[in-house]
Structure 1
Amino acid sequence: MQKSLRIGQILYTNTLPVYFHFDQAHFEDRIAFIRQVPAQLNEAMARGEIDVGPISSFSYAEHAAEYLVLPDLSVSAKGRVGSIFLFSKKPIEELDGARIALTNTSATSINLLKVILQKFYGHHVSYVTQAPVLAEMMKDADGALLIGDDAIMAIRQRVPYMIYDLGELWNRFTGYSMTFALWAVRKAVLAEHTDLLSEVHDAFMESKKQFHQNPEPLIEYVHNHYGGEKADWRQYFQGLQHVFGDEQRAGLEYYFRCAAEQGLLPEPVKVNVWERAGQQKLR
């Protein structure tokens, strides 16, 4: 029998409010953290190598029959997200027939870009997937998609491209917020770990609460470890939502419907939220 709960952690600053004040010592050897980029966490969850953690929203849709979503946790934004950018050599309106390089670290954002370009602009675009190095991506492409800290670092370089924030584009066309990542749990582990999962969820929520009560320790941390101006980091975190309520659910389920329309998902997906009693509830 597995003794510990294996918890994923995305290697991007956008999830830090949920982890920064997490009381890991309280759990001793009952949990193990596995830190990877989103695409790797998605695959690890699908293989059963991780039990709970943040995954790309699109990956949740692909495995909705096997996962439940932890309540009130996400990486979302209503409008500008500040770390998911399309870099383009020409205006987005002129990208019909273009070649776009996609980061190999994402699932939600690459499919969001496909929805935006095809559904909202009517573009037919070819795609290639590459490592997230902007200079290399732009050598043979008209545009490139970067996410997370790779996107933040690229913005600081003041690159000579037009830059589009995907959260901003999505909100402009739909009026919805966009949820890029969800904290999910594999149904297969719930029976064994229900009580521990409740404790872990409480610890995540407490970390988030402490961040909102006093964001400065985290701001200081990212400033020291990732550079940049503290004011820019404050603005970045203020633009992120780490909740998952009715507003986020509505935007995400609309995204899933759009993805299904474009053939990116076999069918629209409803979000299934884990209830603390261990019972599934569809909302």
Structure 2
Amino acid sequence: MTGHPSNLRVGRIPYANLLPIFHGLEGGGAPDGVTFVDGHPSELNRKLRDGELDLSPSSSIEYAVRPDRYLLCPGISLSSRRRVMSVLLLSNVPLRELPPDPIAVTGNSDTSITLLEILLRESLGRGNLLLRTELPPKAALRRYPAHLVIGDEAIRAAVDGVAPHVTDLGEWWWRETGKPFVFALWIAARSAWDERRDPLSRLAAALLTAKRSAQASIRRREYPWGGPDWIPPGFRDAYWRSLSYDLEEEAEGLSLFYRLAAKIGRIPAAPPLRFLEIGGGSAVVKCGITPGGDAMIDKGMKIEDVLRRYPQTIPVFERFGIDCAQCQLSEFENIEHGAKVHRIDLAELLKGLNESLAVKG
């Protein structure tokens, strides 16, 4: 598509993990007036924060660093529910035998570097210095005990067997937490939303359509988007089936990641998740809330009011991926993010809210 000042500028990561989504967008799913801008994750993060992009699949840590500048597309992410297969720590020795020496890390990722630092600290009690490098994996491993690689470079390293030991960071996170990990979010600039609400809404809706189409193809083991010829078919099949493009239970892992990133000082605090209202209506928590102790959450209260009165409920709402700024409580049985409806376990939501209200400070 040719560029034009009035076009929406959308980041595009040239990795295999997002081929299914962009296949749907570029095959006629995207609305008119979209210009795609290629770049690695860290490059697209910079363009987004500098106002050079309106929307991008960007590092999940980028949203947490500047939450006041961004909004999220609801219902879509780039996540793993166990292994991810393209975010790997290559090492010369087993993971638990790593020396305290500096570890080389890719210059193309921000989220994965933060994740590695969290896992080293929380799982191994290590504080290795992480040094960004442009060295290819083999050269990096001659100089450092380990090297963090992502994307197609990580897949190639795994296929070629360049390291004697390989640790999948998605699987490592899952072993430690039992939760999915969100590597990237579809992040919109708030300024773009203020100025271009209608076209951004159409594009966000197109993303959800592309996601559903990709998921259906993956379930059928059909991959019309192809992929690099150098990736063996068996690996390719396992890879796409290891990825999640949802943002439902994944939001729970995201909230934990943000809390741990704040704990080690990478972000000031874990931010609430704030979404585009792509259906024109407020996100609504449609359920009755019973009181906990002397506290009472009334039907029709905005969640922002609930949070102001009862801040102890924040983790409960975040666990369900609820937009804590634009929601209301009422008597029905869904959570609705505009046109996107998330089914939830109402009993679990009610139980969590009531338990949080019953805890005395």
Q: Tell me, yes or no, if the aligned pair for 1:84 and 1:148 is still in contact at 8 Å.
A: yes
Map 1:192-271 → 2, pairs under 5 A: 192-215=195-218, 218=223, 221-222=226-227, 225-245=228-248, 247-271=249-273
* 2:187 is the counterpart of 1:184: yes
Amino acid at match of 2:151: G
- Corresponding position of 2:132: 129
CA apart distance, 1:278 = 7.5
1:98 pairs with one of 86, 97, 101: 101
Q: Tell me, yes or no, if the aligned pair for 2:64 and 2:258 is still in contact at 8 Å.
A: yes
CA apart distance, 1:218 = 3.1
Q: Tell me, yes or no, if the aligned pair for 2:31 and 2:202 is still in contact at 8 Å.
A: no
CA apart distance, 1:135 = 1.5
CA apart distance, 1:78 = 1.3
CA apart distance, 1:255 = 0.6
SS across alignment from 1:218: coil
CA apart distance, 1:198 = 1.7
Inter-CA distance 73–108: structure 2 relative to 1 (3 Å threshold):
same
CA apart distance, 1:219 = 5.7
Query: Which whole-Å CA distance do the structure 2 matches of 1:87 and 1:28 have between them?
Result: 41
Q: Deviations over 1:249-281 (max 9, x none)?
A: 111111111111111212222221222127683
CA RMSD of aligned residues (A): 2.0
1:144 pairs with one of 135, 144, 147: 147
SS across alignment from 1:129: strand
Q: Tell me, yes or no, if the aligned pair for 1:10 and 1:54 is still in contact at 8 Å.
A: yes
Map 1:5-20 → 2, pairs under 5 A: 5-20=8-23
Query: Which whole-Å CA distance do the structure 2 matches of 1:9 and 1:248 have between them?
Result: 22
CA apart distance, 1:50 = 0.4
Q: Tell me, yes or no, if the aligned pair for 2:23 and 2:225 is still in contact at 8 Å.
A: no
Is the radius of gyration larger for structure 1 or structure 2? 2
- Corresponding position of 1:282: 324
CA apart distance, 1:99 = 1.9
Query: Which whole-Å CA distance do the structure 1 matches of 2:233 and 2:185 have between them?
Result: 27
Q: Tell me, yes or no, if the aligned pair for 1:96 and 1:124 is still in contact at 8 Å.
A: no
Inter-CA distance 220–7: structure 2 relative to 1 (3 Å threshold):
closer
SS across alignment from 1:17: helix
CA apart distance, 1:18 = 1.4
Query: Which whole-Å CA distance do the structure 1 matches of 2:233 and 2:266 have between them?
Result: 38
Q: TM-score, normalised by structure 2?
A: 0.73
SS across alignment from 2:93: coil
Query: Which whole-Å CA distance do the structure 2 matches of 1:91 and 1:11 have between them?
Result: 31
Unaligned runs of 5+ in 2: 284-322, 326-361
CA apart distance, 1:212 = 2.5
Amino acid at match of 1:66: R
SS across alignment from 2:185: strand
Q: Tell me, yes or no, if the aligned pair for 2:29 and 2:206 is still in contact at 8 Å.
A: no
- Corresponding position of 1:67: 70
Inter-CA distance 67–260: structure 2 relative to 1 (3 Å threshold):
same
Unaligned runs of 5+ in 1: none
Query: Which whole-Å CA distance do the structure 2 matches of 1:230 and 1:26 have between them?
Result: 26
- Corresponding position of 2:159: 156
Inter-CA distance 42–85: structure 2 relative to 1 (3 Å threshold):
same
In the alignment of these two chains, the number of paired residues is 280
Query: Which whole-Å CA distance do the structure 1 matches of 2:27 and 2:198 have between them?
Result: 16
CA apart distance, 1:27 = 5.8
Query: Which whole-Å CA distance do the structure 2 matches of 1:114 and 1:27 have between them?
Result: 37
Q: Deviations over 1:122-176 (max 9, x none)?
A: 0121221111510121121010000011100111111242100000000101111
CA apart distance, 1:118 = 0.9
Query: Which whole-Å CA distance do the structure 1 matches of 2:79 and 2:130 have between them?
Result: 25
Q: TM-score, normalised by structure 1?
A: 0.92
Q: Tell me, yes or no, if the aligned pair for 2:59 and 2:185 is still in contact at 8 Å.
A: yes
Query: Which whole-Å CA distance do the structure 2 matches of 1:219 and 1:161 have between them?
Result: 34
Query: Which whole-Å CA distance do the structure 1 matches of 2:38 and 2:192 have between them?
Result: 20
Query: Which stretch of structure 1 is more off in the superposition, 123-132 or 11-20?
Result: 123-132
Query: Which whole-Å CA distance do the structure 2 matches of 1:160 and 1:67 have between them?
Result: 38
Inter-CA distance 141–219: structure 2 relative to 1 (3 Å threshold):
farther
Amino acid at match of 1:263: G
Higher relative contact order (CA 8 A, sep 6+): 1
